Amino acid sequence: MQEKKSKIQDRHPMPEQPANVRRHNFLEVPLGYGEETAMAEATRCIQCKNPQCVQGCPVAVPIPQFIKAIAEGRFSEGIRTIWEKNALPAVCGRVCPQESQCEGQCILGKKGSPVAIGNLERFLADWERKKGDGSLPEKMAATGKRVAVVGSGPAGLTVAGDLVLKGHDVTLFEAFHKPGGVLVYGIPEFRLPKAIVESEVKTLEKLGVNLVCNTVVGRAVDVKELFEEGFDAVFVGVGAGLPSFMNIPGENLIGVYSANEYLTRANLMKAYDPAYDTPMVVGRNVAVVGGGNVAMDAARTALRMGAESVKIIYRRSREEMPARLEESHHAEEEGVEFMLLTNPLRFDGDERGRLTSVTCKRMELGEPDASGRRRPVPLDGSDFTMDCDLAIIAVGSGANPLLTSSEPEIALNRWGNIEADPENGKTSMRGVWAGGDIVTGAATVILAMGAGRKAATSMHDFLARGW
């Protein structure tokens, strides 16, 4: 009996590419569960009467039900259970921070390791894509109402998926030439293959969502014009794609990128593929400033682009680092060096205006600041300089201003984010909702989807009954 209990407590590890292999390619790092492993992992779930994992999920996926379906080999039923709440399971299974959400609430995690909920969600989505019958969820009867969704990131895709199923005529507007928002321009191929996002978007198109790319709402057309063209409601999910910089000397040198630009060139514009002519500095000695997931993505991308040395420069300690443990672990495995309690002071260049070095200062931690993290305090006399021919600034991003600057009726907060009711996404402009990073600031995929779900519910009610 003791041996059986031990087996139940053991979490099945996700198979991965070896670090010395994957650092040289852009193929996905985790390889996914096979059917046997997925079923074995699913049997670890004890099917709680009051499942805390569901409460930890921002979109309330019925987790015990889909896990039970896996354990019993009912894969087709399992994926359809997820679809009731989550239109992007292949994405969420890969990039959501399950450790602080559903898995963080799992009762098995109190004494051992939690059920690998994210891995199982990914398994079902991948199984459906490869082996499923391609059947789609049922749609309600057409309502004759038209909805414009601005931005095809996680929030926009969720709203589009929810409302098209409720019978509305949905048009999805995207500024770039490919849909997916941050899923395609921000997250690298080795973490989220673009074919996965394309598959999710194609499902929405099959359901009847109209996709309009290369259209910047706020420039090519504004919100009022969308109403004039016959749309009955508008959802704004344009994200937080405005790069933030540190405002230190030398940030205008050739070779200093914002993480937004660097990752967009590498991901959406495929700079890593010789078949594409996307120009990008390929550094030998790379410094990435920041400690979040975006910093890890940029550092790991730079390695794969051919850098000899990649260093993460972060002004706090490892305990304060906001990146997922999985991402920082993968980065270190692949050879990224962490320079903690270090802050850049300036970038220096040569006579051609090209970056050659970065000067930094050592820090120590003081009292907690407004974020709850201990404030970094400079150490006198600790300045040092190191070679650097590529620097990537990953210290956050701000609200995309293109749409909001064209529509004064939409109220903004002092940071330029749209003010929207957190319970339903309503803005100050009648018939307009908003959600995701344009409201909250940069956050997670699943939180944006949760906001989209709430907004879609409110929009459907409005389309049926009025504001």
Residue 370 confidence class, pLDDT cut points 50, 70, 90: confident
Residue 87 confidence class, pLDDT cut points 50, 70, 90: confident
Cα gap 56→61, rounded to integer Å? 10
Decide: pTM greater than 0.75: yes
Q: Are 456 and 159 in contact (CB under 8 A)?
A: yes
Joined tokens for residue 165: 């199923």
Q: Mean pLDDT across the chain, nearest whole number? A: 93
Helix 194-207 crosses helix 154-165 at what angle (to 10 degrees)?
Answer: 30
Mark out the alpha helices in 218-324 (DSSP H runs). 223-228, 259-266, 293-304
Residue range 140-185, pLDDT digits in tens: 999 999 999 999 999 999 999 999 999 999 999 999 999 999 999 9
Which residue is listed with tokens 């931690």? 365
Residue 423 confidence class, pLDDT cut points 50, 70, 90: very high
CA torsion through residues 252, 255, 260, 261, sign:
positive
Q: What is the Cβ-side half-sphere exposure of residue 17, based on CA atoms within 13 angstroms?
A: 16
- Which are the contacts of 229, defined by CB distance < 8 A and separation ≥ 6? 221
Residue range 269-287, pLDDT digits in tens: 888 888 888 888 889 999 9
Average pLDDT over every residue of 29-50: 96
Whether residue 138 is predicted with pLDDT greater than 90 in this model: the reply is no
b/e map of 417-427 (b: 16 or more CB within 10 Å)?
bbebeeebbbb
Cα gap 241→178, rounded to integer Å? 16
Task: At 131, give phi and psi (nearest 5°).
Answer: -125, -10
Task: At 231, give phi and psi (nearest 5°).
Answer: -75, 140
Residue range 174-203, pLDDT digits in tens: 999 999 999 999 999 999 999 999 998 998
Q: What percentage of the chain reaches a pLDDT higher than 70?
A: 98
Residue range 244-259, pLDDT digits in tens: 999 999 999 999 999 9
